[in-house]
Chain A
Amino acid sequence: MNRTYLSYNNIISSVGFDSPTVVKNIHERLSGISLIEDKNLFPDPFYASIINSDHLKKAFDKLGSNGEYTRLEQMMILSLDKIITASGIELTDRVGLILSTTKGNIDSLDPRNPMPTERAYLGTLGHIVKNYFGFTTEPIVLSNACVSGILAISVAKRYISQGTFDQVFIVGGDIVSNFILSGFNSFQALSSQPCKPYCKQRSGINIGEVAASVLVNKDRNNLPPEAVEVLGEASCNDANHISGPSRTGEGLYRSILSAFKEANVGPRDIDYISAHGTATIFNDEMEAIALNRLGLETVPLNSLKGYFGHTLGASGLLETIIGMHSLYHNTLYPSQGFNELGVSQPLNIITAPMAKNLNCFLKTASGFGGCNTAAVFKKVGS
Chain B
Amino acid sequence: MNATHLKIKEYCRISNNRVLWNDKLLMEEPGSDFSTFIKLAYKKMETNYPKFFKMDDLSKLGFLAADILLKPMIRDSEISKNIALVFSNSASSLQTDRKHQESIVDRENYFPSPAVFVYTLPNICLGEISIKHRLYSENSFFIFNHFNAAYLHDYATGLIKAEKADEVLCGWINCDVEDYEAFLYLVSTEGSIAHNKEEIIKLYTSR
Contact = CB atoms under 8 A, between A and B. Distances in A.
Contact of B120 (A122, A183, A236, A241): A183
> Which size bracket describes the interface of B in this complex?
35 or more
Nearest to B124: A369
Main secondary structure of the interface of A (DSSP, over half): mixed
A282 to B, nearest CB: 14
6 contacts: A109-B101, A179-B97, A183-B112, A242-B127, A254-B136, A369-B124
Contact of B118 (A43, A182, A234, A243): A243
Given A143-B121, A161-B158, A179-B100, 20 more contacts: A104-B92, A120-B97, A138-B148, A140-B142, A141-B142, A143-B92, A143-B123, A145-B121, A145-B123, A151-B140, A159-B155, A164-B154, A235-B139, A235-B140, A242-B131, A369-B124, A369-B139, A370-B130, A371-B126, A371-B139
B101 A110 contact: yes
A104 to B, nearest CB: 8
B98 interface: yes
> Which size bracket describes the interface of A in this complex?
35 or more
Interface of B: 90-92, 94, 97-98, 100-101, 103-105, 107, 110, 112-114, 117-118, 120-124, 126-128, 130-131, 133-145, 148, 151, 154-155, 157-159, 161-162, 164
Interface in A354-376: 367-371
B137 A369 contact: no
A221 interface: no
A120 B128 CA distance: 24
A106 interface: yes
A142 B89 CA distance: 11
Contacts of A237: 126-127, 130, 135-139
Interface of A: 43, 102-104, 106, 109-111, 120-124, 126-127, 138, 140-145, 151, 155, 158-159, 161-162, 164, 178-179, 182-187, 234-243, 250-251, 254, 258, 262, 367-371
Contacts of B121: 102, 143, 145, 368-369
B154 A368 contact: no
A168 B104 CA distance: 38
B7 to A, nearest CB: 18
Which 6 pairs of residues, A with B, have the shortest CB-CB distance? Answer: A369-B127, A183-B117, A141-B143, A123-B145, A237-B130, A162-B158
Given A187-B117, A234-B138, A243-B114, A121 B157 contact: no
B155 A179 contact: no
A118 to B, nearest CB: 10
Contacts of A158: 155, 158-159, 162
A370 B138 contact: no
A182 B99 CA distance: 13
Given A161-B158, A161-B162, A371 B101 contact: no
Nearest to A235: B138
B148 A179 contact: no
B112 to A, nearest CB: 4
B158 A127 contact: no
A236 B136 contact: yes
A158 B3 CA distance: 14
A242 B136 contact: no
A187 B114 contact: yes
Contacts of B158: 158-159, 161-162
Contacts of A236: 136-138
Contact of B128 (A124, A141, A145, A242): A242
Given A123-B145, A236-B137, A242 B97 contact: no
B145 to A, nearest CB: 4
B139 A159 contact: no
Contacts of A258: 164
Contacts of A121: 90-92, 94, 145
B144 A138 contact: yes
B136 A127 contact: no
Given A123-B90, A127-B145, A235-B138, A368 B104 contact: no
